[in-house]
């Protein structure tokens, strides 16, 4: 069901709905037997075809890995997305979705790529009479503008038009192709010698953005007869140009919450300037967990309840514990007395997360009381040194689950340290396909995507070193269903949320690359096609969700925590897509006279209000997202505060709420909520101080303005 089918849509959000039930439990979705799609289309081919690739339902998990999860269907093509600003202004209003079959072996071999083709819908395309050389080489539409076309202007490239009347015959084209190929091989060969690597030149490029060039080299190993894909910089290295992928977090960006304190009017809400690095500095100076040095004392009397709680309430967020092999892990851990081995560590971490999930938000726990699950985590922590020196998939799983519990404890920097260890192990395993046992490939893929998701979330707020795990993104398959020897699983294998989050996180990264990186466009005019395309992709993401995950766009709280989290993430993404227009108006009130700027400001402020109007709804995502969610709340609140100080933006806000007092109440609720988080983390403590001071100064500003 699309959001427009019942009158509710991401573009016009209205309606009412009565919220029922408690949002503390995760609903087990009846899994449909039909196919469904999660599609973020590539901006380059939207105008010609909107191919949607099917995702088989995990109802057939016990029958083996027969499902085909298409990277293009879920995540879109990052390589083709580089030309998104050209296609958005020529996209047809109505594009019908076609269904494209996938071959049965793609789920087994994630390195195999499928060629996409048009679905038979042929739209008229406007072409320039003469295309420049850059557009010809990229096979992109050229608008023919001189002296520079639109694409060359955006890329900062030299725009050269071929003289009219000069036509190349087949022989000329063949010669040029050979020259280009020789030039490419020479460049790659130089890079190969510089890095001390032997290269294979006769391997064809892989499709869909996985062609290796420059920093990515193919190394053939004759003795083992396999191909290994290794970043030329070595383990743990990464650069945006090396991956050639705009769906990754940029190394330098201005998307973090505290960057708003440098904006006009908003900077007047704080008494002193804050370096955006202050949050990282506070977390680095933080005292370690003292309880981890104690001798662990583990109570195993209620393990069944905690295991059940984990698979019911926690695994839906991470999807990284196999319910079909759980009993085997538990038997091994029990035989070892929970004192050695990766199985013991995994079981203890599952127990800690399961117990934590039964207590609700950690922000509601009595201060100085041990958080739930800490005794199991302490016991698991004692086993982690043994996992540190192991490079197995299970060792990586141990570090990932430990990071998940540290996220629950609101310790983002400690979680990042464990994620880096997870990343290192994954990179060692992924360098050669035969290093991962066949029965653990599915688990390794899920651990990989978890590591990438949470590293991206941290990089959005903290200036941390990139682990380098993103370099393998194009070569890792998507989850396709767990297998196991046990006939009856201890819990359900939920994939829907996990797949949807992968797609949304990549879109969020794309927003950061195209709008907030150091190379992004500055003016609202140049941003317009990019913003329109990104918003279109966000809408497509929503419309491609399976029905159980499609949240309504009503103004009420939702009873389902998964739908609640996805809706909050949707509005967070929409806010940052349109946020530059708020900055334009804060900098110059006259900018709002442009109807497109005013409409974009309306969309941004509407998305911000939707995230803040029911502040307790954020509790649904507190297990994985409390720290990230809190900074998102602070960011949107600062945006709304600044808008109330601008006459034109204030009028837009008043069109979204019933009365000015409603905005004051929303902000007050945020201040109270963030103050509750302040005891959990020094970075959140500072955020609470900033937001509290900002509200005092905002009210003083508005009172002074009213008196004038």
pLDDT digits (tens, 9 = 90+) for 276-286: 889 999 999 99
Rounded CA separation 682/690 (Å)? 12
**Choice between 125 and 364, residue whose per-residue pLDDT is larger:** 364
Whole-structure pTM value: 0.70
Predicted pLDDT of residue 509: 92
174: pLDDT confidence band, cut at 50, 70 and 90?
A: low
Rounded CA separation 290/381 (Å)? 12
Is residue 128 pLDDT above 90, yes or no?
A: no
Q: What would the pLDDT profile of 141-163 be if each residue is shown by its tens digit?
A: 888 888 888 888 887 788 887 65
**Choice between 456 and 255, residue whose per-residue pLDDT is larger:** 456
Rounded CA separation 440/48 (Å)? 39
244: pLDDT confidence band, cut at 50, 70 and 90?
A: low
The answer to whether 621 touches 571, Cβ cutoff 8 Å, is no
Residue 230, SS3 per DSSP: strand
CB atoms near residue 364 (< 10 Å): 10
Rounded CA separation 406/33 (Å)? 37
Predicted pLDDT of residue 677: 95
Q: Residues with Cβ < 8 Å from 329, sequence gap 6 or more?
A: 343, 346, 347
The answer to whether 451 touches 485, Cβ cutoff 8 Å, is no
Q: Which two tokens stand for residue 214?
A: 């420059």
Rounded CA separation 113/127 (Å)? 30
575: pLDDT confidence band, cut at 50, 70 and 90?
A: very high
User: For 134-146, what is the mean pLDDT?
Assistant: 81
Rounded CA separation 542/566 (Å)? 9
User: For 668-694, what is the mean pLDDT?
Assistant: 96
The answer to whether 125 touches 47, Cβ cutoff 8 Å, is yes
Q: Which two tokens stand for residue 110?
A: 């994630």
What percentage of residues in the chain have a pLDDT greater than 70? 69
Predicted pLDDT of residue 134: 81
Rounded CA separation 397/356 (Å)? 19
Phi and psi of 95, rounded to 5°? -120, 120
Q: What would the pLDDT profile of 58-91 be if each residue is shown by its tens digit?
A: 333 332 333 333 434 444 433 333 344 334 444 4
For 388-412, give one letter per residue: b (16+ CB within 10 A) or e: eeeebbbbbbbbbbbbbbbbbbbbb
Q: Residue 248's Cα: distance from chain center in Å?
A: 8
Q: Residues with Cβ < 8 Å from 307, sequence gap 6 or more?
A: 326, 330, 350, 351, 354, 490, 491
Rounded CA separation 316/500 (Å)? 12
Residue 226, SS3 per DSSP: strand
Q: Which two tokens stand for residue 188?
A: 């790659």
Q: Residues with Cβ < 8 Å from 395, sequence gap 6 or more?
A: 342, 387, 388, 425
- DSSP per-residue codes, 323-353: TTSHHHHHHHHHHTTTSSSHHHHHHHHHHHH
Predicted pLDDT of residue 37: 41
Q: Residues with Cβ < 8 Å from 31, sequence gap 6 or more?
A: 57, 58, 59
What percentage of residues in the chain have a pLDDT greater than 90? 49
Look up tokens 């016990």; give the residue. Answer: 62
Rounded CA separation 547/289 (Å)? 42
| Paired strand residues for 51 | 98
Cα separation values, 676 from 24, 471, 672, 688, Å: 19, 39, 7, 9
Average pLDDT in the chain: 76
| N-terminal to C-terminal alpha carbon distance within the chain | 52
Q: What would the pLDDT profile of 200-220 be if each residue is shown by its tens digit?
A: 333 333 333 323 233 332 333
Predicted pLDDT of residue 16: 38
Predicted pLDDT of residue 173: 54
Rounded CA separation 107/279 (Å)? 41
| Residue 545 Rama label (left phi>0; alpha psi -120 to 50; beta) | beta
Q: Residues with Cβ < 8 Å from 659, sequence gap 6 or more?
A: none
Predicted pLDDT of residue 251: 82
Q: Residue 69's Cα: distance from chain center in Å?
A: 18
User: For 427-449, what is the mean pLDDT?
Assistant: 92
Predicted pLDDT of residue 17: 37
**Choice between 595 and 52, residue whose per-residue pLDDT is larger:** 595
C-alpha torsion sign, points 655, 658, 659, 661: negative
Predicted pLDDT of residue 193: 41
Pairing verdict, β 51-53 and 98-100: parallel
Choose among 688, 635, 689, 683: nearest CA to 278: 683
| Paired strand residues for 53 | 100
Max distance between CA atoms of the chain, in angstroms, equals 85
Q: Residue 363's Cα: distance from chain center in Å?
A: 25
Q: Which two tokens stand for residue 302?
A: 């209620």
User: For 600-623, what is the mean pLDDT?
Assistant: 95
How many CA atoms, within 13 angstroms, populate the side-chain half-sphere of residue 663? 29
Q: Residue 384's Cα: distance from chain center in Å?
A: 28
Q: Which two tokens stand for residue 162?
A: 């071929």
Q: Is 516 exposed, middle or buried (0-12, 13-18, 19+ CB in 10 A)?
A: buried
Q: Is 58 exposed, middle or buried (0-12, 13-18, 19+ CB in 10 A)?
A: buried
Predicted pLDDT of residue 136: 80
Q: Residue 578's Cα: distance from chain center in Å?
A: 18
């Amino acid at each position: 069901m699309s959001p427009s089918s019942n009158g509710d849509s991401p573009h016009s959000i209205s309606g009412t709905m009565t919220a029922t039930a408690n949002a503390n439990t995760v609903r087990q979705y009846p899994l449909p037997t039909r196919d469904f799609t999660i599609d973020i289309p590539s901006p380059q081919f939207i105008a010609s075809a909107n191919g949607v690739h099917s995702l088989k339902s995990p109802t057939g998990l016990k029958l083996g890995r027969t499902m085909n999860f298409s990277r293009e269907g879920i995540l879109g093509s990052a390589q083709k997305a580089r030309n998104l600003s050209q296609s958005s202004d020529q996209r047809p209003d109505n594009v019908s979705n076609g269904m494209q079959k996938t071959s049965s072996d793609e789920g087994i071999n994630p390195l195999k790529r499928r060629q996409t083709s048009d679905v038979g819908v042929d739209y008229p395309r406007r072409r320039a009479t003469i295309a420049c050389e850059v557009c010809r080489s990229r096979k992109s539409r050229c608008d023919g503008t001189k002296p520079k076309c639109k694409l060359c202007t955006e890329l900062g490239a030299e725009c050269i038009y071929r003289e009219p009347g000069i036509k190349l015959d087949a022989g000329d084209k063949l010669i040029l192709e050979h020259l280009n190929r020789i030039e490419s091989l020479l460049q790659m060969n130089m890079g190969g010698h510089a890095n001390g690597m032997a290269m294979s030149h006769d391997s064809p490029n892989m499709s869909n953005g996985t062609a290796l060039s420059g920093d990515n080299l193919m190394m053939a190993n004759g003795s083992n007869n396999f191909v290994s894909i290794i970043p030329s910089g070595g383990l743990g290295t990464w650069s945006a140009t090396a991956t050639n992928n705009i769906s990754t977090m940029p190394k330098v960006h201005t998307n973090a919450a505290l960057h708003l304190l440098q904006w006009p009017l908003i900077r007047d809400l704080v008494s002193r300037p804050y370096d955006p690095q202050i949050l990282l500095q506070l977390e680095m100076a933080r005292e370690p967990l003292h309880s981890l040095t104690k001798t662990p004392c583990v109570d195993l009397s209620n393990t069944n309840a905690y295991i059940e709680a984990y698979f019911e309430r926690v695994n839906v967020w991470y999807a990284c514990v196999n319910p079909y092999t759980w009993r085997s892990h538990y038997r091994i851990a029990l035989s070892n007395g929970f004192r050695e081995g990766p199985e013991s560590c995994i079981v203890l971490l599952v127990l800690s997360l399961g117990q934590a999930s039964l207590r609700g938000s950690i922000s509601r726990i009595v201060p100085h009381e041990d958080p739930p699950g800490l005794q199991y985590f302490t016991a698991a922590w004692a086993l982690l040194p043994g996992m540190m020196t192991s490079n197995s998939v299970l060792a990586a799983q141990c570090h990932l689950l430990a990071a998940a519990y540290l996220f629950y404890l609101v310790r983002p920097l400690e979680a990042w340290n464990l994620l880096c260890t997870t990343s290192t192990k994954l990179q060692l395993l992924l360098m050669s396909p035969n290093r991962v046992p066949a029965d653990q490939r599915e688990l390794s893929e899920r651990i990989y995507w978890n590591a990438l998701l949470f590293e991206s979330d941290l990089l959005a707020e903290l200036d941390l070193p990139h682990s380098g795990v993103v370099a393998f993104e194009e070569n890792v398959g998507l989850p396709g269903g767990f297998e196991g020897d046990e006939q009856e699983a201890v819990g359900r294998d939920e994939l829907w949320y996990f797949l949807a989050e992968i797609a949304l996180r990549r879109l969020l990264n794309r927003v950061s690359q195209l709008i907030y990186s150091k190379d992004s466009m500055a003016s609202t005019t140049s941003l317009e096609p990019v913003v329109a395309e990104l918003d279109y992709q966000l809408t497509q993401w929503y419309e491609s969700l399976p029905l159980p995950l499609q949240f309504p766009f009503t103004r009420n709280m939702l009873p389902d925590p998964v739908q609640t989290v996805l809706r909050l993430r949707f509005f967070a993404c929409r806010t940052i897509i349109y946020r530059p227009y708020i900055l334009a108006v804060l900098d110059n009130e006259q900018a709002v006279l442009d109807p497109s700027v005013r409409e974009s400001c309306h969309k941004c402020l509407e998305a911000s209000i939707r995230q803040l109007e029911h502040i307790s709804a954020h509790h649904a995502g507190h297990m994985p997202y409390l720290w990230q969610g809190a900074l998102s709340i602070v960011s949107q609140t600062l945006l709304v505060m600044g808008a109330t100080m601008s006459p034109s933006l204030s009028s837009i806000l008043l069109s979204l709420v019933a009365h000015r007092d409603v905005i004051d109440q929303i902000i007050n609720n945020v201040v109270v909520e963030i103050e509750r988080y302040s005891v959990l983390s020094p970075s959140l403590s500072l955020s609470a101080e900033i937001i509290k001071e900002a509200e005092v100064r905002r009210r003083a500003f508005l009172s002074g303005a009213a008196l004038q």
